[in-house]
Chain A
Amino acid sequence: MARRSSGARVDARTRRLSGLNRKRIVILGGGTGGTMTANRLRRRFDQDEAEIHVVDRDDRHVYQPGLLFVPFGLARLEEIVRPRGRQLLSGIAFHESEVESVALDEDEVLLADGTSLRYDVLVVASGVRLQPEETEGLTGAGWNERVFTFYSPEGAEALRVALERFEGGRLVVNLVDMPIKCPVAPLEFAFLADWHLRERGVRARTELVYATPLDGAFTKPVASEQLGGLLAEKEIDLVTEFNAGEVDGVGGKLVSYDGRELDFDLLVTVPLHGGADYLERSPGLGDALGFVPTDRATLQTPARPNVFALGDATDLPTSKAGSVTHFEAEVLTENVARLLSGEELEAGYDGHANCFIETGFHKALLIDFNYEVEPLPGHFPTAFGLPLLRESRLNHLGKLAFQWVYWHALLPGRELPGLGPTMPTAGKRMVPVHTT
């Protein structure tokens, strides 16, 4: 019997399942996607229907949107880090270990602590790994002294100390290359740095530069124009098509592959991202960068029918963001249940993503989009909701409130009314969509 169900159809399916042997579902990664998926599946299946295992190399679950605020003293690490195991409902086994490899032919995961876990269904939710060492000189002399990233808890904290001491000069914000987690985060960092430095009275002595490999402030045309306008308004110089190839942390130079140089006193970098290490040791699962090829609508992987992936770990052409992972988790949970009962999978995910973009001065923008429709102006989720693509205090409050929602509703796998895997169009102004 299902512990909880969303309709009679599901009841019938899970009842059929209870007659089968107990299935084992193994989830690699205890972050946003892994935790939500485990909890949703636990609510869906009784203990005698399915055992659920979650594997992660450590027991620190980071509320990643909070990392943006740490360098400015607006959040502390202890507020945004909680034990992973405690976010899992009872009846879910948590293994704290690195993954050694996945053997697709044997339906088996080998852990670094020697345990082997056979599975009926495998869910890859291991997110991404920062790869600062892939950029020449980035982690050399000057790393965490003049060169920082706020994409790790330790980096965000080190940057907080450096910003506190910063008395002016040239501050360069650079994302090395796409894809990155939360593609708007480096922009938000630049906006917040502008605000922070103004509050501290050192903005007049600071040149703020935003250097990106993209040909504009952002990837999607309408939002790119809007965000580019905000950069100009805040007197942040935008340097486009800058592909960082080399960093001199002592001399304070960021050099692009085509030979352009940007001098800095402080460099805030978003390093290259790749998939988790074990994917390199698991033939057939990840691509050359370690991202997992995944069906964009069902979240099944082409590697094997009983292997699914979600969140930052996939190669899907949508944002690597918590909202995406949340919407995917809903579809993935349904499809795991369908697979186990021999039904056809649901092509239920449309690339839906939404992100708050902090712009400083207690304001934020909200963007909402999917695979096909770029971020548009209007309101979310209906004509009477939060303003889209426009700065407002309401959006800022929404972003702040979200942390509570994350720990107490999202991770436990509760339904959030108005937030689903398909993008709402009710409140959007469908301005002519640019095709690129």
Chain B
Amino acid sequence: MTTTLIADAPVDVDAEGFLTNPEQWNERIAEAIAADNGIPELTDRHWLVVRFMRERYLATGTAPSIRSLGKESGVSVKELYQLFPKGPAKLAARIGGIPKPKGCI
């Protein structure tokens, strides 16, 4: 774990750049991480997903999978991939300042 500066704020991140302490997060950090990952502007739809992920993580200790996101966030899986190319759950977690979702087994 290392400490780094994102949007002028010191944050703890893991080896892959996920925040390890969700309390250090703010919206400017989210925007900076998004821009770094090919999303120049976070739209309302992006925010809806990011907030849903974050709230779910803070309430349950687990980030939802893409499937549960598709069922519960109000954004379909197809749109999730349009909003967050490659891996929506991972990217939304990264932007939302929560740890990398654990693959289930």
Contacts and interface: CB of A to CB of B under 8 A. Distances in A.
Interface of A: 177-179, 183, 214-215, 219-220, 241, 243, 245, 257-258, 272, 287-289, 317-319, 353, 436
Q: Give the 7 A-B residue pairs with the shortest CB-CB distance, closest first.
A: A257-B81, A219-B105, A288-B71, A219-B103, A179-B104, A288-B72, A178-B104
Nearest to A256: B81
A287 B68 contact: yes
A257 B91 CA distance: 15
Given A219-B103, A241-B86, A178 B68 contact: no
Interface centre among B80, B85, B102, B103 (most CB of A within 10 A): B103
B87 A241 contact: yes
Contacts of B94: none
B101 to A, nearest CB: 10
B67 interface: yes
B75 interface: no
A318 B66 contact: no
Interface centre among B67, B77, B80 (most CB of A within 10 A): B67
Contacts of A241: 86-87
A241 B103 CA distance: 12
Contacts of B68: 287-289
B54 interface: no
A178 B77 CA distance: 14
B76 to A, nearest CB: 10
9 contacts: A178-B105, A183-B105, A214-B103, A215-B103, A257-B77, A257-B78, A257-B80, A272-B67, A287-B68
B81 A178 contact: no
Q: From DSSP, what is the main secondary structure of chain A's interface residues?
A: loop
Contacts, number: 47
A220 to B, nearest CB: 7
Contacts of A272: 67
B104 A317 contact: yes
B66 A220 contact: no
A283 to B, nearest CB: 15
Contact of A178 (B65, B78, B85): B65
Given A177-B66, A215-B103, 9 more contacts: A178-B104, A178-B105, A179-B104, A241-B86, A243-B81, A257-B77, A288-B71, A317-B102, A436-B100
Contact of A258 (B65, B71, B85, B102): B85
Interface centre among B77, B100, B105 (most CB of A within 10 A): B105
Interface size class of B (residues with CB under 8 A): 10 to 19
Given A177-B66, A241-B86, A245-B78, A220 B105 contact: yes
Contacts of B105: 178-179, 183, 219-220, 317-319, 353
B102 A243 contact: no
Nearest to A316: B104
Contacts of A178: 65, 103-105
Contacts of A318: 105
Interface centre among A215, A241, A243, A318 (most CB of B within 10 A): A243
A219 B100 CA distance: 14
Contacts of A177: 65-67
Contacts of B104: 178-179, 219, 317
A254 B100 CA distance: 27
Contacts of A214: 103
A317 B61 CA distance: 13
Nearest to A178: B104
Interface in B59-74: 65-68, 71-72
Nearest to A274: B67
A394 to B, nearest CB: 25
A219 B77 CA distance: 22
Contacts of B100: 436
A317 B68 CA distance: 15
Contacts of B103: 178, 214-215, 219, 436
Nearest to A215: B103
Contacts of A258: 81, 85-86
Nearest to A136: B78
A328 to B, nearest CB: 15
A262 B47 CA distance: 32
Nearest to A179: B104
A243 B78 contact: no
A272 B105 CA distance: 14
A288 B102 CA distance: 18
A177 B71 CA distance: 14
A243 B102 CA distance: 16
